[in-house]
Structure 1
Amino acid sequence: MIIPEIVAPAGNFTKLKIALAYGADAVYAGVNNFSLRSRTAKEFTYETFEEAVRYTHDKGKKIYVTLNGFHLSGQIEGLKRHILKLRDMKPDAFIVASVGAMKLVRELAPEIPLHVSTQANVLNYLDAEVYKSMGAKRIVIARELSLKDSKILKENCDVELEAFVHGSMCFAYSGRCLISSVQSGRMSNRGSCANDCRFNYELYAKNPENNTLFRLEEDENGTHIFNSKDLNLCSYIEKIMQENCISAFKIEGRTKSEYYVALTTRTYKMAIEDALNHNFDPKKYEREIYTLKNRGFTDGYLVSRPLEKTDTQNHHTSIEEGTHQVHAIIEDGDYFKCKGKIVLDTAYEILLPLGDKLEECENEIGKIYQKDDKYFIEFKKLIAKNNKEFTEIHSGNENEIKMPTKISEFSFLRKEIL
């Protein structure tokens, strides 16, 4: 059986470290506007990206570089320089969508493996064979491809397949969208999508004879007519693995939060391990995934055909609260930074990297205890690094607050929203 690797988003260096800590086998990231997430690419300079490559390799993991934008002729010389700089950092692959960029990568960096982006819309083995002939090692299949067709593709073309299993879904066909470009001049396929499909729209009916305009509305707030729900395949991981055709599970979300990166990576890693150990429990993974903010969830098109789907759109809101609120992140193990609100004598659940353990303890700072296979913490005192003491801490307060004992780096404190 193919054991799929988890490919997690790394919108910045901290998120990269979190992804690796929570079980990612590989991360994907980019530098500047040659990536499809130019907003997050600004988080990396060439210097910090080179450091990130070294960090990833020191952990025995892989890093894939996104070059998946569609480039204008005036950008080609800059793209060449960009490829050469990244080549020297020795990443584990380039993710490319444009056939011209693929040709360029093969000429300038033939030693770096080539992955074909989902933006290339690969739906069949004939297209896959063409990309393989161009040097592709792996194809990130179109989100619209079914598991049945993925298996047929794999049987007819010896190439690795990577599939999205979680994250935002695009209203357009694998991102081929013009709404953002038309409304705001921000081109989605060049890395600056404004997510116009998430906006609230009003619909009107016009009588051409007298120009009378009637507003059509679902409720007083209008409607989200393009708003796709988020992809969530955690319950189907075992089924997908049994088909033995997908080499990597990809999580969307380079612009999403640190907690999102940690939680999704951890959950999908857990699902893979449980499937291998014949201990698969969909309810467990769904409980974790629903702690995240989301747009509602759909299983997309990998496990059922588009024409069979009636629940892929959220017509009411562009965001829904998850079941839990993140209140703090522990970046170095000894201190936390507040992300919500921390008060005394209140229990917060501790989310640890998968497999990490804690010893129960109690001292003048607080206590850590285990209940129903979960760890919790209650603070008796909130003491900052500079020894200033607080009765409560709110987000925005940059003080690092002492933990009762050292715990795993990049752990989170969360609390159920009642």
Structure 2
Amino acid sequence: MPEMKIPELMAPAGNFAKMKTALHFGADAVYLGLKQFSLRSFAGNFTIEELEEALDYAHSLGNKVYVALNMMPVSADFKDLSVILPKLSNLKPDGVIVSDPGVVSLLRREAPELRLHLSTQASTLNSESVAFWGKSGIRRVVLARELSIEQIREISASSEIELEVFTHGALCISYSGRCFLSLYMSGRDANRGECAQSCRWQYRVLEETERDGEYFPIEEDSRGSYIFNSKDLCALPLLPELVSSGVNSLKIEGRMKSTHYVGITVDVYRRGLDILKERGESEFREAAPELVAELARVSNRGFTTNFLNGTPGQNEYSFEKCAVSNPYAFLGEVVEKYDGYLALNLKNPIRQGDSIELCDRGFLREKVAVKEILDNAGNVLDFGRSGEVIRLNGHFQTGVGGLARK
């Protein structure tokens, strides 16, 4: 029996620290944006100098880095884009994610050595479109989120270029994110990386002006109703089907999400893929509920498989609230470990008596009762503040790069 071919696991990298976390927890590749031209203007993003450092770091570990240039540009943007292209080309990223045909044309003309990936913003839904983009110089297509697994399988069977699909993270109410709701309501253009997430706002919709007296069929209370608010994509239970569909890369959304989200989500999907490869589908099915439960311990709006199992229904939306469930407070990252103690760079306060959990790659979880907190000089503290580096005494399995939460 031939060995199962496991797709690349790709994770978001909103900044350098999150990139390191993603790679530590098992991502094969990361995608990131520059300070300009990507669709996440409010992520930390990377300067050219930081990108060079990121590429050196990832490549030293045998991992890949893809750079997003998937903003929908206007004519004035091309001057700045032309300035940055020679620098980007010299750095040799593993791929550049684009969505606009004009950008594709520019890159093919001025930086032909760059490997081009087509963003999901292009809404590629069929094999004819994949073939068209392949002839246009695209090496990988990120398929539209509005496809079922069966449709993905059909496209894969006839595709001569690589395919990538989203498997986890926030979903947009619009077609592959091409939305003007944010621009109309807040002046922030989602197609230029500035989405205000107007779809998550609270609305009181009673009737359409053209249908006087005909009420919109939604349930609402005195607070209103969140009629556009999609749950988050979670394709973890469908990994066997996605792997067998023939796609080359599985992508996690979340360049603006926390380090905790990035690390745990990557860890869970890495664990699922490893179980599937090493132990088979039956044992994966047994492990899947525990893996999904762990995904629910990081920020989420509830989960849906979206279009992967067919057209989604009303259960795929959260009408009652837009708040993100975040069961754990992220305490920080393990930055040092020695025999007898480890050091945490705190992002939230910690006190004596707290019950915390340490998390590391390989689905390692350690419950710890905090009996004593020390500063770097060994002085005992009653509590540690955000921004401080503190020590916890004990013998731990979790190593440098691991995360702490409570």
- TM-score under structure 1 length normalisation: 0.88
Instruction: Say whether the 8 Å CA contact 1:2–1:247 is kept in structure 2.
Output: no
Return the offset for 1:228. 0.8
Residue 252 of structure 2 corresponds to 251
Correspondence for 2:400 among 396, 409, 412? 409
Q: Following superposition of structure 1 onto structure 2, how do residues 132-143 of structure 1 map, counting pairs within 5 Å?
A: 132-143=134-145
Q: 1:210 to 1:13 in 2, by over 3 A?
A: closer
Q: Following superposition of structure 1 onto structure 2, how do residues 186-225 of structure 1 map, counting pairs within 5 Å?
A: 186-205=188-207, 218-225=220-227
Correspondence for 2:82 among 80, 83, 90? 80
Correspondence for 2:147 among 133, 140, 145? 145
Cα distance in structure 1, aligned partners of 2:10 and 2:211: 56
Q: Say whether 1:316 aligns with 2:323.
A: no
Cα distance in structure 2, aligned partners of 1:156 and 1:67: 27
Q: 1:208 to 1:253 in 2, by over 3 A?
A: closer
Return the offset for 1:118. 0.4
Cα distance in structure 2, aligned partners of 1:316 and 1:414: 28
Cα distance in structure 1, aligned partners of 2:57 and 2:133: 31
Deviates more, 1:217-226 or 1:135-144: 217-226
Q: 1:181 to 1:320 in 2, by over 3 A?
A: closer
Count of aligned pairs: 390
| Secondary structure of 2:14's aligned partner | coil
Q: Following superposition of structure 1 onto structure 2, how do residues 201-350 of structure 1 map, counting pairs within 5 Å?
A: 201-205=203-207, 218-243=220-245, 245-277=246-278, 278=280, 279-280=283-284, 281-302=287-308, 304-306=309-311, 309-333=313-337, 334-350=342-358
Counting aligned pairs with the same residue, the percent is: 34
Q: Say whether 1:6 aligns with 2:9.
A: yes
Cα distance in structure 2, aligned partners of 1:400 and 1:324: 20
Residue 123 of structure 1 corresponds to 125
Amino acid at match of 1:269: R
Cα distance in structure 2, aligned partners of 1:133 and 1:69: 22
Cα distance in structure 1, aligned partners of 2:324 and 2:156: 37
Instruction: Say whether the 8 Å CA contact 1:2–1:246 is kept in structure 2.
Output: no
Deviates more, 1:196-205 or 1:268-277: 196-205
Residue 28 of structure 1 corresponds to 31
Instruction: Say whether the 8 Å CA contact 1:385–1:399 is kept in structure 2.
Output: no
Q: 1:239 to 1:209 in 2, by over 3 A?
A: closer
List alignment gaps of at least 5 residues for structure 2: none
Correspondence for 1:183 among 182, 185, 200? 185
Return the offset for 1:327. 2.8
List alignment gaps of at least 5 residues for structure 1: 357-373
| Secondary structure of 2:87's aligned partner | helix
Deviation string, structure 1 residues 332-358 (Cα, Å, up to 9, x no partner): 4441133344222443221012277xx
Cα distance in structure 1, aligned partners of 2:180 and 2:336: 43
Return the offset for 1:246. 1.1
Residue 387 of structure 2 corresponds to 398
Deviates more, 1:76-85 or 1:403-412: 403-412
Residue 366 of structure 2 corresponds to 375
Q: 1:218 to 1:239 in 2, by over 3 A?
A: same
Amino acid at match of 1:76: F
Deviation string, structure 1 residues 291-345 (Cα, Å, up to 9, x no partner): 012111101112x111x53322111111242443333322344411333442224
Deviation string, structure 1 residues 72-113 (Cα, Å, up to 9, x no partner): 101111111122221111100000101111111112222221
Q: 1:217 to 1:45 in 2, by over 3 A?
A: same
| Secondary structure of 2:273's aligned partner | helix
Residue 366 of structure 1 corresponds to none
